[in-house]
Structure 1
Amino acid sequence: MNDQRPVGELLRDWRQRRRLTQLDLADMAQISTRHVSFIETGRSLPSRAMLLRLVDRLDVPLRERNQLMTAAGLAPMYAERSLDDPAMREAHAAVELVLYGHEPHPALAVDRHWNLIEHNRALAPLLAGVPEFLLARPSNVLRVGLHPEGLAPRIINLGEWRAHLLHRLRHQIAATGDAVLASLYEELAAYPAPDDYDDYDVPASGLVVVPFRLRSELGDLSFISTTTVFGTPMDVTLSEIAIESFFPADAATTQAMRVLSASLEPAPSSSH
């Protein structure tokens, strides 16, 4: 979003994105509807405390909270540092702990645009055959998964998995208003798709989770995935990191991961 716009306009956009009326937001923030209206129209400039109250009720991401602070003439509240920054040493170590602790099962960390930050050693065998232009940094994991030269030809349930990923991406776009994600969605939705599956198809009745089923050198694998985020981050970068962890969904995959485990070198000790 453009942080040069008035703070009131930005707050109104977030309120509308959350499908709230001015009365809804006023009740949530325990202020008058008149006050909300005055802030949104620019007749009143919110104090730091008031702005923090509103963005908390609107569940605005940390990056965009900083933009709102700047638009209101206030100093940004949250730092934004690379994982390589010395101040982020413990956070980086925590990411590595989760990734390598999940072996021999695959796990990877991504940023807010689904660009790969780091992965454990169990992921590499699954990416065999993916061309370098898709893996070169910044490598986008959704592009790797759905590109016709990426994993897509080897995904056994491509239609189902594709619909699942695009659904997640639509939800993320609705929650953040991120233009980069919107552009990524348009790209992915234009990739070839199975004729018998629609991108808006919901999982079959009774299906608890959507499995990721892949043909690999280890055989046909089936995984379920979970997403981990940091609970109370005070840094923009950390708040935007998500760790995707994959678990075997059947006995054959469990056995294949045991075979893979025997071939892995000892995990590197963290230098962070």
Structure 2
Amino acid sequence: MTTAIMDKVEEAGAASDHLITVTVRVRRFNPEVSADVVWQDFQLPMDPKERVLDALHKIKWEQDGTLTFRRSCAHGICGSDAMRINGKNRLACKTLIKDLNPAKPITVEPIKGLTVLKDLVVDMDPFFQAYRDVMPFLVTTGNEPTRERLQSAEDRERFDDTTKCILCAACTSSCPVFWNDGQYFGPAAIVNAHRFIFDSRDEAGSQRLEILNDRDGVWRCRTTFNCTDACPRGIEVTKAIQEVKRALITRRY
């Protein structure tokens, strides 16, 4: 055996030394097969620094190709792989195995409050409909400007936090009010309304406030802070909701 080959064998051995065996317990549901939900365990050799998304990839690519889940960018930007991991809403692509006590089974299930279509995939249509209902776009009147709409750093800072939303639904699907009443707009929709209500360039703040003044709007919030805890982007969701409530009362924004 040549020295080069021996070096490669040694490198492969060293690379496998730090792997641990992890049990990933996945909530499975396939309406084409059965109406019943089952939990299925998968044993995987994993680097503790790998992510839950890596574990799901290994399951799908090496053990069970029928496992169904959403993911896109895999870098915490698209928000498509939000799911409940060990009972808490997280992004699978941002959750490291080592942070989950891998000595015990890691449970993975779909986010709550939305209809499960298959395995870890839920129907996002109600979530995005609430998002569309709050008019998540800049509204202005008059002629189209000939130059950019200028805004001071102070005015921008007023709503900077809520621009970070990636529409992963982690906050909305962690809300107990949303679990019990799917008509509630939910934290994510309110956050995206906040982003434009407090934008000094926008002229539809009053209209959005009236939308959120509805019985299914901000007054349904019970301030449990679940949404803030669940947000993978660190947005102060509960604070934003309270600011919208205050704007409704004072009409100052």
> In which range does the TM-score fall when normalised by the shorter chain?
under 0.3
Higher relative contact order (CA 8 A, sep 6+): 1
Structure with the larger helix share: 1
